[in-house]
């Protein structure tokens, strides 16, 4: 089954063709990142405008690279949330237009669920059951495949190595699968404001603190639930410190670790097409709408 995936949850405009959920045929990602550097972050209106501009060329290039036509495609898939509402709207409406024009089914995909299936691309499927750690933007989720254990999160930042006063490891000693990094961020802010340590040094300690919590809670869930595999996905899964720590921990516990290559951790349409194959939700086009507040359980 050949699926054309479309992803526009943030500032990227991505299209990809995936066969049977695991074989990446072609992929294109267009970004307006350079424009957002001028403002120090993504400007939603600018992102959506560029996505309108990039959408048709990205899809056309994806088909051209794979040497296929619309007639060869079995279904389309599109990210419906979470994300920026303007960006989601561009992708959803483009996908609906193509589905109608080409007379193809359209499968709505939760962006967070898409990150799980990055581990299925081009490799043997992870043995189930599996604990999944999704660390993506404003989301940190532990999932027992098909069932979320928690859903609270904040950002994680890579940095340089050095030493500074030890920061707290939030909720590390609590026997739960919940995450909350707001207090840690406050501690970082206060430490930086004192001006006693370089920002890069504090940032590294912050990274260590977050990775300690992510790894400890993931391993606790894996051991407690008796799973066979640990899957990691999301943009933060590209962080080398997190990847190395998880490899070290999982290697001593007998689980199989599945972490996709960095290019499949960040936003792309490959994972969206893959998730669609494994979750073929049937909906009328009129029922498929963008939802910027979508959570992993929806």
pLDDT per residue over 16-61, tens digit each?
A: 999 999 999 999 999 887 777 788 889 999 999 999 999 999 999 9
Q: Residue 146 CB: number of other CB atoms within 10 A? A: 12
Chain-centroid distance, C-alpha 281:
20
Q: What is the structure's pLDDT at 156?
A: 33
DSSP 147: E
Q: 188: how many CB neighbours lie within 10 A of its CB?
A: 20
- Non-local CB neighbours of 52 within 8 Å, separated by 6+ positions: 90
Most confident of 31-35, 250-254, 273-277, 282-286: 273-277
Q: In this structure, is residue 213 part of a structural domain?
A: yes
Distance of alpha carbon 242 from alpha carbon 65, whole angstroms: 34
Instruction: Give pLDDT, residue 153.
Output: 33
Q: Both 279 and 250 in a single domain?
A: no
Residue 236 within any structural domain of the chain: yes
Mean pLDDT of 120-130: 87
- Average pLDDT, stretch 200-220? 93
157, part of any domain: no
How many folded domains does the chain comprise? Answer: 2
Q: What is the pLDDT of residues 219-233, one digit of tens each?
A: 999 999 999 999 999
In a domain, 165, yes or no: no
* pLDDT given at position 197: 86
Enter the pTM of the model: 0.87
For residue 10, what is the domain's CATH number? Answer: 3.30.420.40
Query: In which band, very low, low, confident or very high, does the pLDDT at 87 lie, cut at 50, 70 and 90?
Result: very high
* pLDDT on residue 32: 84
- 207 found inside a domain: yes
Residue 225 within any structural domain of the chain: yes
pLDDT for 146 equals 53
Q: Distance between CA 157 and CA 236 in Å, rounded?
A: 8
pLDDT on residue 239: 95
Residue 199 has pLDDT above 90, yes or no: no
- Determine the structural domain holding residue 141 and report its residue range: 124-151+172-259
Q: Express each pLDDT in 189-198 by its tens digit.
A: 988 898 888 8
Helix 199-225 and helix 182-194, axial crossing angle in degrees, nearest 10: 160
Same domain, 270 and 232: no
Rounded Cα gap, residues 229 and 218, in angstroms: 11
Q: What are phi and psi of 209, to 5 degrees?
A: -60, -45
- Position 158 in a domain: no
Which pLDDT band, with edges at 50, 70 and 90, does 163 fall under?
low
Structural domain includes residue 269 = yes
pLDDT at 166: 87
The confidence band for 11, taking pLDDT boundaries of 50, 70 and 90, is very high
136-159 confidence digits (pLDDT tens): 877 899 999 853 333 333 333 333
Say what the pLDDT of residue 39 is.
83
pLDDT exceeds cutoff 70 at 100: yes
Residues 57 and 134 reside in one and the same domain: no
In the block, residue with structure tokens 């670790």: 257
């Amino acid at each position: 089954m050949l699926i054309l995936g479309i992803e526009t949850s943030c500032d990227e405009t991505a299209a990809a063709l995936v066969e049977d959920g695991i074989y990446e045929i072609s992929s294109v990602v267009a970004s307006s990142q350079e424009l957002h550097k001028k403002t120090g972050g993504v400007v939603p209106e600018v992102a959506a405008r560029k996505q309108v501009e990039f959408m048709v060329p990205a899809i056309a290039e994806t088909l051209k690279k794979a040497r296929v036509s619309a007639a060869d495609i079995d279904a389309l898939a599109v990210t419906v949330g979470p994300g920026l509402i303007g960006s989601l709207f561009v992708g959803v409406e483009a996908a609906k237009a193509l589905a109608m024009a080409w007379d193809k089914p359209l499968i709505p995909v939760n962006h967070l669920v898409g990150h799980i299936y990055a581990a299925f691309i081009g490799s043997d499927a992870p043995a189930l059951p599996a604990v999944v750690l999704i660390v993506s933007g404003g989301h940190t989720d532990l999932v027992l495949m098909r069932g979320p254990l928690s859903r609270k999160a904040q950002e994680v930042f890579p940095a340089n190595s050095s030493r500074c006063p030890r920061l707290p490891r939030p909720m590390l000693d609590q026997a739960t699968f919940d995450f909350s990094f707001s207090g840690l961020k406050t501690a970082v802010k206060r430490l930086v404001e004192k001006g006693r340590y370089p920002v890069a040094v504090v940032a590294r300690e912050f990274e260590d603190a977050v990775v300690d919590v992510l790894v400890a809670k993931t391993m606790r869930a894996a051991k407690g639930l008796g799973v066979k595999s640990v899957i990691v996905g999301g943009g933060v899964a590209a962080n080398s410190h997190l990847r190395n720590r998880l490899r070290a921990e999982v290697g001593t516990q007998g689980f199989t670790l599945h972490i996709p290559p960095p290019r499949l951790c960040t936003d792309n349409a490959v994972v969206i097409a893959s998730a669609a194959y494994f979750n073929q939700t049937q909906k009328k086009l009129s029922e498929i709408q963008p939802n910027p507040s979508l959570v992993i359980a929806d």
